[in-house]
């Protein structure tokens, strides 16, 4: 049955949808696919939930506060739904694949109409049709672990596009919920990936971010990701980035391709998680502190000016303050351009949920703050090197804080604000860096590239 047409046939007049997206870039991309399907069914998009006929919560389960945020907003729109009975509310994404959340929605949030998992986006028209016909709450299960192609994408940005290359994760880091909610690794075909890159390029896109929980195991691992990178580079798209790379899998062949190709950005996100080999073992990360440092040396030997970023978890069960200081030691040695840091959040059903803490929450927080101070100084020092340098900046749009300024990113992914107007949007411009902060740079435009 053609459910897209069926939904169009039973819904009258113009309809609006509001999508809330939480979490990572994969979720952002999933939301763009949901928007594509909704537009095929005749829905326009709105930012105003009060005007929406269909509301989608694309959720994240990585930490407790991500889940809390979803329930908070969900609770706050209950009264909108009460006033507008025909409004349909759907919840999808990682929370939708957790049994305890499904139960909670059944019991406490029974006014949520449809729940569907991360690998059921293509089934949305069928589920919506079923809901419109039956008026019953629909809690669906992912039917398979396959890649589903042919879903139209309605992108948020014309300039930068996320392109998934694989879904799921096989690594089972002991703190992480992702393998449970996104299933086992499966890769898209190179043909489908390249087709999407070329289409985006023809639509004016300048930067592609290849997405996957562990892009280095694309196509089963080995040199497959390096070959894919070469072929994506051959499309001539201006800038290529990729994330995320598990340090245990990143190969010399990938770094060589990065070094050889001008359109692959010299920046790499390489999550460390902890600098203590003892904690890394408990996290099931499959590398040691020394091994990570050797990888970084290898990477810097090919690309000395590479911008490295990382993820760190503070307060993993069993982590003492001396263990935590091993993390500071690695931060001091690698000198990342930026870190994304999190306090450990126990996730239901993961091995780390049952592991015991050895220090208090206060001590964890103190360590966390200490790490931020330590890293901010490094980030500032690294940015200071760029003062008076000329950088190529891909202009993304108007600065949010000052409409006389445009904002964009260097190849190394640093934010740069500079005086300019909207005609520069999507252009790569040469900017001389005049002021330097910890999190962003300011500059003067010197010309187009
Ligand atoms: N608690 C805190 N941080 C987590 N991450 C993943 N799971 C957890 C958790 N349970 C962090 C990791 C990962 C990033 C996306 O989120 O650092 O790399
Ligand atoms: Fe989670 Fe580890 Fe998989 Fe990353 S590699 S998604 S941290 S299990």
Strands (E), 9-100: 15-21, 43-45, 54-59, 88-93
- Residue 349 Cα to ligand 1 midpoint, Å, equals 15
- Which of 20, 14, 138, 156 has the alpha carbon at shortest distance from 80? 20
pLDDT of residue 230: 98
Nearest-ligand number for the alpha carbon of 248: 2
Q: Which CATH superfamily is domain 3-139 in?
A: Methylthiotransferase, N-terminal domain (3.40.50.12160)
pLDDT tens-place string over residues 187-211: 999 999 999 999 999 999 999 999 9
Q: Using alpha carbons only, what angle is made at residue 151 by residues 228 and 198, rounded to the nearest 5 degrees?
A: 40
**What is the arithmetic mean of pLDDT over 25-48?**
96
User: How many angstroms separate the CA atoms of 394 and 418, rounded?
Assistant: 12
Pocket test for ligand 2, best of 27, 183, 212, 214 (most atoms within 8 A of CB): 214
DSSP state of 356: P
- Our answer on whether the CB atom of 26 is closer than 6 Å to any ligand 2 atom is no
Peptide bond into 244 cis (omega under 30): yes
For the chain, the domains span: 3-139, 157-265, 293-383, 390-448
- Our answer on whether the CB atom of 392 is closer than 6 Å to any ligand 1 atom is no
The CATH number, out of the four listed (3.30.750.210, 3.20.20.70, 3.30.930.10, 3.30.390.30), of the domain defined by the range 157-265: 3.30.750.210
Class in CATH terms, 390-448: mainly beta
Q: Are 214 and 389 in contact (CB under 8 A)?
A: no
- Residue 158 Cα to ligand 1 midpoint, Å, equals 30
Range in 75-84, 182-191, 373-382, 408-417 with the lowest mean pLDDT: 75-84
- Just give the CATH number of 293-383: 3.30.750.200
Q: Read off the pLDDT band of 76 (50, 70, 90).
A: very high
Q: Are 73 and 45 in contact (CB under 8 A)?
A: no
Q: Are 3 and 10 in contact (CB under 8 A)?
A: no
User: How many angstroms separate the CA atoms of 293 and 289, rounded?
Assistant: 6
pLDDT of residue 13: 66
Q: Do domains 157-265 and 293-383 have the same CATH topology?
A: yes
- Which of 201, 245, 253, 259 has the alpha carbon at shortest distance from 228? 253
The whole model's pTM is what?
0.96
């Amino acid at each position: 049955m053609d459910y897209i047409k069926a939904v169009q046939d039973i819904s009258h007049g113009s309809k609006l949808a509001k999508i809330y997206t939480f979490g990572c870039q994969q979720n952002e991309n999933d939301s763009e696919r949901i928007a594509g399907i909704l537009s095929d069914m005749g829905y326009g998009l709105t930012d105003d939930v009060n005007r929406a006929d269909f509301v989608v919560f694309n959720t994240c389960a990585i930490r407790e506060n991500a889940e809390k945020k979803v329930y908070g907003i969900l609770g706050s729109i209950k009264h909108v739904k009460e006033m507008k009975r025909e409004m349909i509310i759907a919840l999808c994404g990682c929370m939708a694949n957790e049994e305890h959340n499904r139960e909670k929605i059944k019991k406490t949030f029974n006014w949520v109409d449809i729940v569907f998992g991360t690998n059921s986006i293509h089934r949305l028209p069928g589920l919506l049709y079923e809901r419109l016909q039956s008026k019953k709450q629909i809690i669906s299960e992912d039917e398979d672990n396959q890649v589903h192609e042919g879903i139209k994408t309605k992108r948020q940005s014309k300039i930068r596009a996320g392109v998934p290359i694989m879904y799921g994760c096989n690594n089972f880091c002991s703190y992480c919920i992702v393998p449970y909610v996104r299933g086992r690794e499966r890769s898209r075909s190179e043909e489908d990936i390249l087709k999407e890159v070329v289409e985006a390029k023809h639509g004016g896109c300048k930067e592609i971010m290849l997405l996957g929980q562990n892009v280095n195991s694309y196509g089963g691992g080995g040199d497959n990701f390096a070959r894919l990178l070469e072929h994506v580079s051959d499309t001539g798209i201006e800038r290529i980035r990729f994330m995320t790379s598990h340090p245990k899998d990143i190969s010399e062949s990938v770094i060589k391709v990065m070094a050889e190709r001008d359109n692959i950005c010299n920046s790499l996100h390489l999550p460390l998680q902890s600098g203590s080999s003892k904690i890394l073992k408990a996290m099931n990360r499959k590398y040691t502190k020394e091994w990570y440092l050797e990888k970084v040396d290898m990477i810097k030997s090919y690309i000395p000016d590479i911008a490295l970023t990382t993820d760190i978890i503070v307060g993993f069960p069993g982590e003492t303050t001396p263990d935590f200081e091993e993390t500071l030691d690695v931060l001091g040695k690698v000198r990342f351009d930026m870190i994304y840091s999190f306090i450990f959040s126990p996730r239901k059903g993961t091995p780390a949920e049952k592991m015991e803490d050895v220090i208090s929450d206060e001590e964890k927080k103190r360590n966390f703050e200490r790490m931020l101070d330590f890293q901010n100084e490094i980030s500032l020092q690294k940015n200071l090197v760029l003062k008076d340098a000329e950088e190529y900046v891909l202009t993304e749009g108007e600065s949010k804080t000052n409409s006389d300024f445009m904002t964009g990113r260097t190849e190394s992914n640093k934010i740069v604000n500079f005086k300019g107007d909207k005609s520069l949007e999507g252009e790569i411009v040469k900017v001389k860096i005049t002021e330097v902060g910890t999190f962003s740079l300011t500059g003067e435009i010197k010309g187009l590239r």
